[in-house]
Amino acid sequence: MSNPYKDAGVDVESGYKISKFVKENTSDKSLNIGNFGGMYEIPEGYRKPVLISSNDGVGTKILLTENGALDTIGIDCVAMCVNDILAQGARPLYFLDYISTGKVDEKIEQILVGVIEGCRQAGADLIGGETAEMPDVYSDTSYDIAGFSVGIADKDDILLKENVKDGDVLIGIASSGLHSNGYSLIRKIFFKDNTFDMHSKLSELDDKELGEYLLSPTKIYVQDVLPLLRKKLIHGIAHITGGGFYENIPRMLPAGMAAFIDVNKWPKNKIFDVVKKYGNIKEDDMYHIFNMGLGMVLAVDSSSASEVLANLNSADTQAWIIGDIQQSQESSIKLMGVE
């Protein structure tokens, strides 16, 4: 007997298989997956609990994964959401994903492997999601992914601009590479203006495949930063995403304060030099677009800087003092050492 919905290009059975896959591969053994709504009980211990939410996607980076390298893009999606929540001083609680495609098949499970791993790194529960099969909107191989996350903080502990003070020290934490921003430009530089592909080996990248650098997943900073938040050692956090330094660092600054940063204080991932070279991009423009090797910048009291730095570098994390906060006529950023 024919199935009219399947004949139209939508196989509902494939969606049931995805729900079963998530149930079998997550540590959360609640009955959330498959319900009409995800449930989460607010944890105890908060005097004035405030929920902080974020939603995001991964932009055109997804176009680089259609060759089958799908197991990290879910980490990117989780990271873009939970790192924003962390920047407000909150602990991520849970995450939901939305994946749309022309055909639900094994690629969805591969994407969800990354989502599950991202949630593990963030300490967040995957409490639900949606997989939408949309023939004619997407091809069988194309897809999009978006995420939504909620975190929690005590009202008195939320990081506000007013917390950042004159004389605060700025500490930068290493990124894992390009993260998930600027990929429309990245694709133009390498695949349109130049004749590279994902398997190209560049001497500037130690003869490693270009795709290894371009698909490196976004670093999730929860395990590094949350202990510092609990100790109340952080005044402000800037998550360096789209818009680079110039857009994101001023977002944590109060009126009359500027961030003075020496760009020679930390090593840069080689991919940024390669992007600058083959894209013929001015160095100042690079800081307008990319994270330039720092995924997060923390503002901390000068008396706490050594402790914060020691905590961040006690494991594999790389962090450096990169500048400070000074009084200024406007909330701005001053980069020293940029040609």
Q: Which domains are assigned to the chain?
A: 4-157 (3.30.1330.10), 161-336 (3.90.650.10)
Quote the pLDDT of residue 67.
67
Pairing status of strand 125-133 against strand 91-101: parallel
Read out DSSP for 154-207? EGGGS--GGG--TTPEEEEEE-SSSTTS-HHHHHIIIIISS---TT-B-GGGTT
CB 129 within 8 A of CB 92: no
Low-confidence ranges of the chain (pLDDT < 70): 1-34, 67-68
Predicted confidence (pLDDT) per residue in 221-262, tens digit:
999 999 999 999 999 999 999 999 999 999 999 999 999 999
The rounded distance, in Å, linking the Cα atoms of 293 and 281 is 16
Nearest Cα neighbor of 53 from 96, 99, 22 is 96
Predicted confidence (pLDDT) per residue in 124-173, tens digit:
999 999 999 999 999 998 999 999 999 999 999 999 999 999 999 999 99
3-class DSSP state for residue 271?
Answer: helix
pTM: 0.91
The rounded distance, in Å, linking the Cα atoms of 321 and 23 is 43
Quote the pLDDT of residue 4.
52
Quote the pLDDT of residue 10.
55
Nearest Cα neighbor of 124 from 154, 87, 158, 96 is 96
How confident is the prediction for the chain on average, in pLDDT?
91
Quote the pLDDT of residue 19.
61
Quote the pLDDT of residue 37.
81
